[in-house]
Amino acid sequence: MGEGPTGEMHSVFGYYFDLALRSLRRNNALTALMVLAIALGIGASMTTLTVLHVLSGDPLPGRSGSLYYPQLDPRDGHGYVPGKVEPMDQLTWIDGMNLLQAKRADRQALMTGGDVAVQPDNSTLDPFYEDTRFTTTGFFPMFGVLFEYGHAWGDAEDEAHARVAVISSRFNDKVFGGGDSTGKTLRLDGAAFRIVGVTGDWHPNPNFYDLNRKSYNEDEGVFIPLSTSQDLSMAHDGSVNCWGNGGAGQAPDHDSPCAWMQLWVQLDSPAEVAAYKEFLVHYSEQQRALGRFQRSPNVRLRSVMQWLDYQQVVPDDVRLQTGLAFGFLLVCLVNTVGLMLAKFLRRAGELGVRRALGASRRALFAQLLVESGVVGLIGGVGGLLLALVGLWLVRRQPAEYAPLAHLDPLMLLATFLLALGASLLAGLLPAWRACQVTPALQLKSN
């Protein structure tokens, strides 16, 4: 290099300036790429995680722990392998009534789903069918149903087969235009019912007490006494499981070998749970002695969350989507680690100078981690926006749970923690590698 020191300095300076400009421009794109990758990964993961969180939530927080679902096995010997066969998912009418009347739990309710024709009085509304719950009165206090107006019916009405009904506030708005509708008359399947209560904001999701219709976003508009529904042969809606020569039409027979009832009981202590389970075994033995049951006692007593888990209420597709999204996040993270490493190593010279000027390795490491944290934070904000878009897209999907897909504060916090954690994790390796620069070597190479 035959040039003098001054000329060389000038050309090197010019070259560095040029390089710096290029690098800055390139780094801009690189930074944007990292932010985009993190945002996409976080957005996808948080969308699916929120859906999973909403769908696997507790339908009745604070109450679900003491609610149990008794199951019996009244089937004949066909296909019975002791210890291998789960009992039936529902109860027969006879068993349901026997367990209900035994009153061995603190509270209990026997119920099933129905489909009932509603004939509104106001002529602007055509008759329509409404999802209805046929239940004994225990339903309301046991499940903590909130009332906007009026109250539930009582044991007396159950026994008297009274024509009384509780309606939901949505149904009240639709048929009566809202307001206190207690005392008004409602025509169901051609019979007149007196409204005694209007429920308030009470929407358990999943619809744990009867998963036969819709697991999510089921919105029953009418509740009437079980006894009354049977007097009027109202149409049952849900699943009917028969064995032997069982068969059923719209309103199953009370003595046919078919299971179509749900019983829920409230048991407030572990001792009560054990005692109730004991009772179910005794009941099965007794029924077997009577010749009604043919299998040895095969009972279960699942809590709400155990029941939801056993029924695999969260759709497979949702779990698959969550796995997919986290796979995607992983790829985005690996991508970010690579880009971050490239970005940091590019600045090896600058870092070497800082080291030579006395900055400790720890100080450099911290500086780089802060930088990756900032990338993560910006990516997290982007991810949050993308998750909101993603959830909006989920709500437009044809799934029954779609309307439930909303972000709650917990998931909002989780989004930021995930973004920050992910990008710090992604920054760890590159920062560590970049800090390995030997100050002298970097200075020498320049």
Partner 1 sequence: MELRPIFSTLRRHKTTAWLLILEIALTCAIVCNAVFLIGQRLQRMDLPSGIAEHELVQIQLGPIGKNADAKAQSATDLAALRQIAGVRQAAMTNQMPFSCCSDSTGSIMLDPHQQQGTAQVAEFMGGAGLLSTLGAELVEGRDFQPSEYVDFDAAVQALHDGNARGLPQEIILTRGLAERLWPGQEALGRTVYFGDALPFRVIGVVASLARPKQLEQGVQYSAVLPIRMTVADGSSYILRTAPQDREAILKAAVAKLKQLDPNRVVLVKRTYDDARREYFAGDRAMAGILVGVILALLTVTALGIVGLASFWVGQRRRTIGVRRALGATRGDILHYFQAENFLLASFGIALGMVLAYGINLFLMLHYELPRLPGIYFPVGALVLWGIGQLAVLGPALRAANVPPVVATRSV
What is the C-alpha separation between 195 and 302, in angstroms, rounded?
34
The conformation of residue 183, written as its DSSP 8-state character, comes to T
**Residue 128 within binding range of partner 1, rule CB under 8 A:** yes
Query: What is the number of alpha carbons within 13 Å of residue 322 lying toward its C-beta?
Result: 15
Closest CA to 372 of 419, 305, 415, 441: 419
Tell me the C-alpha distance between 195 and 166, whole Å.
6
Among 126, 291, 357, 409, binds partner 1 (CB under 8 A): 126
For the beta carbon of residue 247, count every other beta carbon within 10 angstroms.
12
Q: HEC string of 221-232?
A: CEEEEHHHHHHC
Candidate residues 63, 203, 395, 433; the one interacting with partner 1 per rule CB under 8 A:
433
The answer to whether 209 touches 313, Cβ cutoff 8 Å, is no
**Least separation, in Å, of the C-beta of 253 and partner 1?**
6
User: Which CB atom, from 11 or from 438, has the smaller least distance to partner 1?
Assistant: 11
**Distance of alpha carbon 442 from alpha carbon 434, whole angstroms:** 12
Nearer to partner 1, 195 or 258 (CB): 258
CB-CB contact of 235 with 222 (8 Å): no
| Smaller CB separation from partner 1, 201 or 316 | 316
Chain CA centroid to CA 134, Å: 26
Task: Please state, in angstroms and as integers, the Cα–Cα distance from residue 123 to each residue in 119, 130, 176, 201, following that order.
Answer: 9, 17, 12, 28
Nearer to partner 1, 147 or 328 (CB): 328
Alpha-carbon 212 to chain mean position: 17
Number of residues that bind partner 1 (CB under 8 A): 64
Residue in 89, 71, 68 with CA at minimum distance from that of residue 298:
71
Nearer to partner 1, 191 or 353 (CB): 191
- Nearer to partner 1 by C-beta: 334 or 385? 334
Do the beta carbons of residue 276 and residue 67 sit within 8 Å?
Answer: no
Instruction: Determine which residue in the list 305, 412, 424, 429 makes contact with partner 1, applying CB under 8 A.
Output: 429
**Region binding partner 1 by CB under 8 A among candidate stretches 121-129, 147-155, 194-202, 295-303:** 121-129
Closest to partner 1 by CB, 330 or 363: 330
Pick the stretch among 184-192, 220-228, 295-303, 366-374 that binds partner 1 (CB under 8 A): 184-192
b/e 384-421 (16+ beta carbons within 10 angstroms → b)? bebbbebbeebeeeebebbebbebeeebeebbbebbbe
Instruction: Give the x-and-dash track for 17-36 against partner 1 (CB under 8 A).
Output: -----xx--x--xx--x--x
Residue 249 in the binding site for partner 1 (CB under 8 A): yes
Closer CB to partner 1, 148 or 189, in the complex: 189
> What minimum distance in Å lies between the beta carbon of 25 and partner 1?
11
- Smallest separation, CB 133 to partner 1 (Å): 18
Q: Is residue 175 a contact point for partner 1 (CB under 8 A)?
A: no
Taking CB under 8 A as the criterion, which residues in 291-350 touch partner 1? 316-317, 320-321, 324-325, 327-328, 330-332, 334-335, 337-339, 341-343, 345-346
Among 3, 10, 15, 17, the residue binding partner 1 under the rule CB under 8 A is 15
User: Which CB, 277 or 361, lies closer to partner 1?
Assistant: 361
- CA distances for 21 relative to 18, 26, 210, angstroms: 5, 8, 66
Q: Which residues bind partner 1 (CB under 8 A)?
A: 1, 11, 15, 22-23, 26, 29-30, 33, 36-37, 40, 44, 76, 78-79, 115, 117, 119, 126-129, 189-191, 232-233, 235, 244-250, 253, 256, 316-317, 320-321, 324-325, 327-328, 330-332, 334-335, 337-339, 341-343, 345-346, 397-399, 429, 433
